Homo-oligomer: A and B are copies of this chain.
Amino acid sequence: MAKKEIVTIKDVAREAGVSVATASRALGGYGYVSKEAKSRVLEAARKLGYNHNLVAKSLRTRKTYTLGYLLPDIANPFYAGIARGIQDVAFEQGYSVIICNNDNDITKTERFLKMFIRNRVEGIIYSAPFNQALKEMAETAIANGIPVVNCYGSTRVAALDTVTGDAEGGCYKAVRHLLELGHRKIGFLKVRGSGISKRRFAGCKRALEEAGVEIFPELVVEVSDYSQASGYLGAKMLFARKELPTAVFAFSEQLAIGVLKAARENSISIPERLSLIGVDDVIGEVLEPPLTSVKIPTYEAGKAAATLLLERIEKQIEENSREVVLEEKLIVRESTKAPER
């Protein structure tokens, strides 16, 4: 792997018999260059195997065409979907993106922020839940002139451009669906201290109240996080109540999978004896039964976030903090049906 001599713009210029300035203009495709000179330069570049050095260009122009994306874990399909959306619009506009998994850890968050700044990323998107380092990160970035966009991440940070879903509306639809099927005793699995869980529940309440249907406080259980294990635990608690609900609405897909497992263990068949709805809809389709759920449009969210960010970078945006709210659709599958009587 003998590193062959790197050919620079100088070499190209010499080969083409022009100055570096002309070569630069020809290669960059701007400024005044005669057709003739341009084609000679391009030909020379091809011949020598020239590769534009973006490091040098960045240093000179102060544009790195690089974005940073901070998320908890790329192996989580929810975030991977967002990442894909971000990358697609970024690449389309000539930007590359550096993805960092913070595992919701403070130290990592700090380290990655520092890395972002040192690498001179031109903007940052985050999808992480709140922690102190995240907040400081956003503030530091802004202070350094690097715009930050929040995409389905914690809202407990500075006023930023934000992309979220209409959690309230999505859940409203889900409960309406249950109501229309005839359910009157609905259990809920929400997450303690989660802002989005709160908004989801608000949507549920609205649907219930509109229909004049009672909320059973003992059927509303709060768990500590959105994991499968928590769903399992929550379901077990629910199943221990005097009276079983006829439907359960779990505020994440993992929670719903936990419910599924618990139900199987207790021989509670879904949807016959219990209807079940989840949120996210990453693998809902392949579950058994296929899960009715509120779909979070992760890919679209990523696209929206990147669009917001690139606008900030390339244009002068006057508004202080913009917000994109994406519709969350209800996907009806086989885990919900009318309750037995």
Contacts and interface: CB of A to CB of B under 8 A. Distances in A.
Interface of A: 1-4, 51-56, 58-59, 64, 73-77, 80-81, 83-84, 87-88, 91, 96-101, 111-112, 114-115, 117-120, 142-145, 147, 228, 257, 260, 264, 283, 286-288, 299, 312
A145 B5 CA distance: 10
Contact of A118 (B53, B118, B299): B53
Given A53-B59, A54-B120, A74-B83, 11 more contacts: A1-B312, A4-B144, A51-B118, A55-B59, A76-B80, A77-B77, A77-B80, A91-B100, A96-B119, A287-B288, A288-B288
Contacts of A64: 55
Contact of A51 (B96, B98, B144, B257): B144
14 contacts: A2-B145, A4-B144, A51-B118, A54-B118, A54-B120, A56-B59, A74-B74, A74-B80, A91-B100, A96-B100, A98-B98, A257-B286, A283-B283, A288-B288
A8 to B, nearest CB: 12
A73 B77 contact: no
A276 to B, nearest CB: 13
A191 B332 CA distance: 33
A58 B228 CA distance: 44
Contacts of A143: 4
A324 to B, nearest CB: 19
**In the A-B complex, the 8 residue pairs with the closest CB atoms:** A288-B288, A3-B145, A75-B84, A80-B80, A54-B118, A55-B58, A96-B98, A75-B80
B74 A118 contact: no
Quickly give the copy total for this chain: 2
A315 B251 CA distance: 49
A286 B83 CA distance: 24
Contact of A87 (B1, B58, B101, B120): B101
Contacts of A53: 59, 118, 120
A12 to B, nearest CB: 14
A177 to B, nearest CB: 22
A180 to B, nearest CB: 26
Contacts of A283: 283, 286
A299 B83 CA distance: 18
Contact of A98 (B52, B56, B97, B142): B97
B55 A120 contact: yes
A69 to B, nearest CB: 10
A85 B77 CA distance: 15
Nearest to A99: B99
